[in-house]
Structure formats: C-alpha cells, structure tokens
Structure 1
Amino acid sequence: MSPAVFGHGHLRLYLLFVLDERPMHGYEIIQALSDRFGGTYVPSAGTIYPRLAKLETEGLVTKQSDGRKTVYAITEAGRAELDDRRDELEGIENGIGDSVRRLADEVRSSVSEAMTTLRAELAAAAREVRDDARASASSARDAASRATAAATAGAAAASEAVRDATTSMHSTISETRADGRAQVQRADVLLAEFRQDMRTELRTAAARGSVDPSVVDELESGLSRLRAQIGSRLG
C-alpha cells in the first residue's frame, strides 16, 4: 500500500467502512477499493489481507468460509469504532478524491511518455523505410543504366533479363522484410497477451490465497523449455 494514497491507519478505517456496506471476500474488497479510485489504484493482496487479519485479531471483523472463499464481515465493535471516527472518515474520503486526481495525472503522464516513445519508434521506422527506398532507387538506377548500355549495344534480350531479375530481387527482399516484421509484431502481441493473462490469473489466485509455488515452478520450467526450443530453431 502506498502511503501517498492512504495516511497512517487510514486504510484500516477505510476497510471497516467498506465492510459496513456488506460482507465481502478478499477479492471483492480489493475491487471495491479499486472502484472508489476509478481504477487508478488497485491495492495488492499483500496489502489487504494482513490488515484484515489484524482487524480480526482486534475483534473488529469476523471471517468465515464460504466454499473456497473466505468472507469478512464487520462486528458491532467495528461499527462502534467507525461511528466514533466518522469525522476522520470524511477527511479520508476527501483525500481519496485528491489521490484519484493525482493518480490520474500520473497515468496521463505515463501515457504521454508512452506516446512520445511510440512517436520516436515510428519516426525511426519511417527513416528505415526511406533508407530502404533510397537503396532500392539506387539499385534501380544501376539496373536501368546497365539495361540502357545493353540496349545501345543491341542486347535487348539481355536488358529485359536484367530488368526481370532486378524486379524479382527487390520483390523478394521486400516480401522477406515485410514478413519478418509482421512475424515479430505477431510474436510481440502473443507474448503481451500471455503475460497479461498469466498476471491476471496469478493475481486472482493470490487474492484467493491459493497460489501453489509448484505452479510458478512449472511456469518457469515450461518457459525455459519453450525458449530453448524456439532459440534452437531461430539459430
């Protein structure tokens, strides 16, 4: 939990406020906090669960199993503390509004930096395309010069063969480069999707407190094998 979002002891009070609405399991509590921040701040399971455990120890919340989930509920003692600190809670609510605006500004700044980087990458790609075009134009001029010399010498058939060979060569090079870039972009998308899916599933499992270390070990070994297989083919 970032102290820039909640002051000392404020997250503890805010958890009681959230549970005063209704009993929730851990993931629902995390989602409720995320919704109040408009998605700009999502507390981790490592932030929420230790505080819930402390509230339970103090008798301010209870927990009970509901299938595979653990549901937390506020107690009368928790409501009493909440009532005693309503003025402080109002200040926290106002602070959340400020935090949302600050975090939104940080998100906009990150997006701006990403756009700047993207524009730089696009400019570099455009330069590469122009360089390729100049190289192709130079090669075309050379081929044209050779064809003219051959025509002047009366070798019209040889000139035609040179033009055909040049056209075929440039076509093959262009197709090879385009296909290579397309495959790299496709691989980038697949890797990003895999990373996002795995991250979401692991975070969801962590929120339920059910991440088995053997799962991560299997992920690590599987990725190592896959990297070795693909590396041998690319090499």
Structure 2
Amino acid sequence: MPPVFSHGDLRLYLLNLLAETPRHGYDIMQSLAERTGGTYTPSAGTIYPRLAKLEDEGLVTKTTDGRKTVYEITDAGRAELQERAGDIEGIEAGLADTVRLIADEVRLNVREAMRSLRADLAAAATQAPRESPTTASDDARVRSREQLQRAEAAIAEFRGRVRGELRTHVARGGELASDVVDALNTSLDDAARAIGEALRR
C-alpha cells in the first residue's frame, strides 16, 4: 500500500489545515482521516511532535481552551503556505491519487476473494457422489461437515463485522481503548473454552 504522505508533506498539510481554522489535536487527526477517506489515521504520537516543531519555528501558536489545546497558524505560517502554494496543490493531487490507488487495491482484493470463493463452490458442486452404500456413520459425517461449514461461516461473518466496526471507528478518529481490546480477547477466550468443553462431552 503506498504511503499517504511523502517526506515533509504532512508538516505542510498541517499548516494548510490550520490556515482554514484553528483546531485542536483530535480535530486535526479526524480531518486527516476524513480527507483521506479513512486510509490514513495518524496517531497522537505522529501529530503532536510535528505541531510542537511548527510552534518552535514560529509558524503556529497554541492556546488552552479548557482541557483542549487549540493550534492556530501565525502570519509567518501563512507566508510559508503562500510561498509553497504549488506544493500544496501537489499534495492535494497526491492524496487523491493515493486514495484512488488504495480503493482500487481493495476492490481488486475483493474481486480475487470472490473468484476464489466461486472456484471453491464450483469444485464442491462437481465432486462425484459416493457410490458405496450410505451408512449411519456416513450420514453423521455429512451432517458434521455441514455444521462445520455453518460454524466457519458464522466465525467469518463475526470477524468481518467486528473488524469493520473497529476500522470504521478508528478511521473516524475514535479512540480504541486498550480495555476494549482486552475485553474482546477475554470474551473470545471464554467462547473458545466453552466450545472446547462442549466438543469434549
């Protein structure tokens, strides 16, 4: 997957965001996620050091508004933006290209997965039926395989749904707390243990 920002471009793009309106750190991260279609969700460890550097250079100032620190571009920051207007246009065009490439890559992966699934289904449908007489043991094995497919489909659906929820939440700038992930791990361990116990009965 191509990088969203080339070296040094993020610094300039932060100035560009602050030229639109003063923002606090979370707002900046959320804006970046929105403008890249959720393909880039920077961490606080990426954004705040760059904001501090911009402040050291006299390009932004910060003020405290309750519990939030609000960053605002200075005249010197606006002057640099004006001097590098062509670079900003290039960054915007690069962002559009990168988002398009990532979207194409996702679509390609989905198409490949669908082709693989169709091939698997076609192979299963063309398998020759057994010619030997069907026994009770054979019936039990067939039922077990059917239930196994149901179980695997349920697991895949659960994985896709939870993964989608998590990715969407983070892409929109939401915080994913460690206790949420810990709770998820605990629940999955409990479910695996319960299934193992049920199978051993």
Same fold (TM over 0.5): yes
Tell me which residue corresponds to 1:135. Answer: 129
Structure with the larger helix share:
1
Q: Does 1:112 align with 2:108?
A: yes
Alignment partners' CA distance in 2, 1:42 and 1:25:
18
What letter is aligned with 2:73? I
Q: Does 1:121 align with 2:117?
A: yes
Alignment partners' CA distance in 2, 1:101 and 1:201:
24
Change over 3 Å in CA distance of 1:204–1:135 after alignment to 2: same
Alignment partners' CA distance in 2, 1:41 and 1:200:
10
Q: How does 1:96-175 map to 2 (within 5 A)?
A: 96-131=92-127, 134-135=128-129, 138=131
- The Cα of 1:214 is off from its aligned counterpart by 5.6
Alignment partners' CA distance in 2, 1:179 and 1:47:
47
Tell me which residue corresponds to 2:30. Answer: 31
The one of the two structures with greater contact order (alpha-carbon pairs below 8 A, sep at least 6) is 2
Alignment partners' CA distance in 2, 1:54 and 1:21:
19
What letter is aligned with 1:128? A
Does the 8 Å CA contact 2:22/2:71 hold for their aligned counterparts? Answer: yes
SS for the counterpart of 2:16 is helix
SS for the counterpart of 1:42 is coil
SS for the counterpart of 1:73 is strand
Change over 3 Å in CA distance of 1:82–1:96 after alignment to 2: closer
Change over 3 Å in CA distance of 1:107–1:214 after alignment to 2: closer
Tell me which residue corresponds to 1:44. Answer: 42
**TM-score normalised by structure 1 residue count:** 0.63
Q: How does 1:53-72 map to 2 (within 5 A)?
A: 53-66=52-65, 69-72=68-71
- The Cα of 1:24 is off from its aligned counterpart by 2.0
Which moved further from structure 2: 17-26 or 48-57? 48-57
Tell me which residue corresponds to 2:17. Answer: 18
- The Cα of 1:173 is off from its aligned counterpart by 6.5
Does the 8 Å CA contact 1:30/1:42 hold for their aligned counterparts? Answer: no
SS for the counterpart of 1:227 is helix
- The Cα of 1:21 is off from its aligned counterpart by 0.8
Change over 3 Å in CA distance of 1:185–1:100 after alignment to 2: same
Task: Tell me the alpha carbon deviations over residues 159-214 of structure 1, each in whole angstroms, 9 at most, x when there is no partner.
Answer: xxxxxx99xx86x76665444323321222122222343455566226xxxx4x56
- The Cα of 1:49 is off from its aligned counterpart by 2.5
Does the 8 Å CA contact 1:40/1:100 hold for their aligned counterparts? Answer: no
Structure 1, unaligned runs of 5 or more = 144-164
Q: How many residues end up aligned between the 2 structures? A: 195
Tell me which residue corresponds to 2:193. Answer: 228
* TM-align CA RMSD: 3.5
**TM-score normalised by structure 2 residue count:** 0.72
Alignment partners' CA distance in 2, 1:231 and 1:65:
54
